[in-house]
Each structure stands twice: as C-alpha cells, then as structure tokens.
A and B are shown apart, each in its own frame.
Chain A
Amino acid sequence: MSAAAIKKEFVKGLWTDIPPFRFVLGLCPTLGVTDTMFKGFGMGAATLCVLVCANFIISLLRKVIPDEVRVASYIVVIATFVVCVEMVMEAFAYELFLSLGIFIPLIVVNCIILGRAEAFAKKNGPVLSIVDGLGMGIGFTLSLTALGAIREILGKGFIPFTDIQVLAEPFEFFQQAPGAFVALGLMLGIMNLLGKK
C-alpha cells in the first residue's frame, strides 16, 4: 500500500467525488443545518468523525461479518458512533448540540456513511478505509461550510463571526427552507460547471 494509493483515496473525496455535490448523498443535513457557516462546519465535523470511525471498524471486521447480516452490523456500528458523538457534543459543545438538533442523530441515516461502508470499507484495509473516510468527510465538511457561509452572507448580510456588513438588505429567503433548496441547487449547478472545464 503505497503513498500514492493513500493520496489517491484521500484526494478523491475533496473534489472529484465530493459529497454532496458529486456524490449526491447526504442531502438532508446539507439543507437542514447550513443556515450558518458554523453549523455547517459543526455538522461536517461530526459526520467526519462518525465516517472515519465507522469505516475503520467495519474495515477491521470485514472478514468476520457474514454477508447476510452485514447491513444490520454496519447499522449497529454506525449508530454506536453516532450516539458517541451525540453524548460528547451534549457534554462539551452544548450550544452547537442544541442548534444542530435532530440532525445529529440523523447522521446515522446519512447515505454517505452507509454508502462508503458498502462501497469501500467492506473491500479495503483499515488504513485505506480511514483515508477514504477522511477524504470524504473533509470534502463534506468543506461543502457544508461553504454553503453555510453563502447562505449566511446572503441571508443575514454580515460576514460570519465579524461585524462587516456586506449587504444592506439581506435576502432572508436564503435563511429559510425554500432558500436552502434553491441555494443548494444553484451551487450544484456551479460545481457541475466548474467540473466540466
């Protein structure tokens, strides 16, 4: 397992296969918690943790788990890490925990995690699986943070964490449900455009 192989698995999650834009998975949290940049980042980070840990354990156990019960086993493993993240957040990042709300337990049904378990961790060694998880997870975090920043700037008019006002009359539309759909759709279009070049 060479450095080149590791690099390849890591980098793909950051651009060519970036969720949720290229791998159109994990749309629910992408829409639900990107009204601010911080929430987007927090959600991405939480998902990253679960993804890496789940990929690691599932890869370690891949030869032991019989095929018939593999989905059930994956769900137990993933759910365990999600509950861990829930508890740690409630204890050490309470405000973020409250603002992300129901989307934290919903990490367990984030198609990205089960998807990577099926497509990668099942067939590859633990080190590569961790790398795959890292790449995808960081890519996801970047996407959510970017979308969150855009929605926050357009929707509130201020640059996040500062008092710099960019828009005198912000488009509150982007802070609400319909705006989330439209913003994500447009960003997807832009990403497609950039990818084609």
Chain B
Amino acid sequence: MAKFIKMIVVLVCITLASGMALGALNYVTEDRIIRNRLEMTKVPRVIDIMEIKQGEFSGQKRAEIKEGLLNSYKNIEMGGNTYNLFTGRDDTGEVYMVAFETKGEGGYGGEVGVMVGFNVKEDRLEGVGFTSHKETLLEPTFTEEFKKRGLDITYKPDKAGGDIDGITGATMSSVAVCNAVSRAVSFYKEHKEEILEKVKQ
C-alpha cells in the first residue's frame, strides 16, 4: 500500500512541477509568440497585396508599412471567430484596402491559410497571399488568379465549374485556396458595413 501511495505521490509531484514550470514559461513567452505569428506570416502577405496597387516597396518603406500595420490592426469577432483586420493605406494616406486571413480546407496537407485583401474604394478583391500551408504543389504564381477580381464571380477551380484557372495536377490545393477565398468574399459582402465602421475607429 505504501508503495502504491509513493508511486502516486511521485507522479503527481512531477506533473505539478512540470505544470507550474510550463505555465510560468507560457506567461513569459505568450506575447512574443502572438507578435511573431502576426509579424512573420500575416503582415508580410498584407504588404505583398498592397504592392499590387503601389508597386514594389523599398526595404525602408516596407519596414515603415510593417510597423504601421502592426500598430493599427483591429480585431473583429464574427461567428465565433476572431479576425485580425488590417488596413492598407495608399500614398495619400487614405484607407483603400482591408485584409484578413481565412482558412480553406481540402488540401493535400489539410488546411490552407490565405490572406485576402479587398479594395474598398473599387469594391473588389484586390489580391491574396498564402499565410500557411503544407502543399508541395502550391505555386506562388497561383495568386495571380486572384488579382483585381470582381466579387461576384464563382471562386472555384475551372474543373469544378468555377471561374478560377486551377493549378494543373494540384486540384486539391486549388480547391483549398478557392475555399478560403470564397469564404473571405462571402464574409466581406455580408459584413462590409461593420468592417468599414471598425476601420474608422
């Protein structure tokens, strides 16, 4: 009996010590981790989309815009999810673009993360960037299919009857990206008012 108790006590103590150590470390690193995720994966894609209208940025301009985006993004809660909403300004300083990330399921490696940018002045899709995926066949040039497209086209690969030229031999990847984009488009159309309100705050 004593042996059994000793076993339990030792295991519990080790687990408690472990839990406390990890909790403490989490407290220390949490903020940096959140910032890393934003800074390294999301923000660069927003800047890529901004380059569609404004042309390639110099290193310094890119850093400035990056700081701006990191300091000005808003969070909106819709349908149980939190979206980081980024606003893009043109060279006059006016807001012309909003961007947020959505996910699309169905790729070879599961989910694909896509940053989708909307031109609020011309009410259209401005462009997309890939934030996360494990697709080996997803070419960066696929983003061309989504540059300056209208909101009412069918966001599906042509093989599935849609208006997007899918990647040959990578049907599942194309489908996953289209899922993400069409999700973003529906979201934008449905919540445009609230998004613009949030941006003005």
Contacts and interface: CB of A to CB of B under 8 A. Distances in A.
A–B contact (CB under 8 angstroms): yes
Interface of A: 61, 64-66, 68-69, 72-73, 76-77, 79-80, 83-84, 87-88, 90-92, 94-95, 98
10 contacts: A69-B11, A73-B10, A73-B14, A76-B11, A76-B14, A83-B25, A84-B25, A87-B29, A91-B29, A98-B40
Given A90-B29, A91-B29, A80 B21 contact: yes
Contacts of B10: 64-66, 69, 73
Interface string B3-39: 1001100110011001001100110010011001100
Main secondary structure of the interface of A (DSSP, over half): helix
Contact of B18 (A61, A77, A87, A91): A77
Contacts of B14: 61, 73, 76-77
Contacts of A68: 7
Interface in B54-96: none
What's the interface size class on B, roughly?
Answer: 10 to 19
Contact of B33 (A83, A84, A87, A95): A87
A114 to B, nearest CB: 15
A84 B6 contact: no
A91 B36 contact: yes
Nearest to B31: A91
Given A76-B18, A90-B29, A98-B41, 20 more contacts: A65-B10, A66-B3, A66-B7, A69-B7, A72-B11, A73-B11, A76-B11, A76-B15, A77-B18, A80-B21, A80-B22, A83-B25, A87-B22, A87-B33, A88-B29, A91-B32, A91-B33, A94-B36, A94-B37, A98-B40
Give the residue among A72, A90, A91 with the most B Cβ atoms within 10 A. A91
Nearest to B19: A80
B73 to A, nearest CB: 18
A149 to B, nearest CB: 23
Nearest to A73: B14
Contacts of A88: 25, 29
B32 A84 contact: no
B40 A87 contact: no
A91 B28 CA distance: 9
A67 to B, nearest CB: 9
Contacts of A65: 10
Interface in B168-194: none
B107 to A, nearest CB: 16
A55 to B, nearest CB: 15
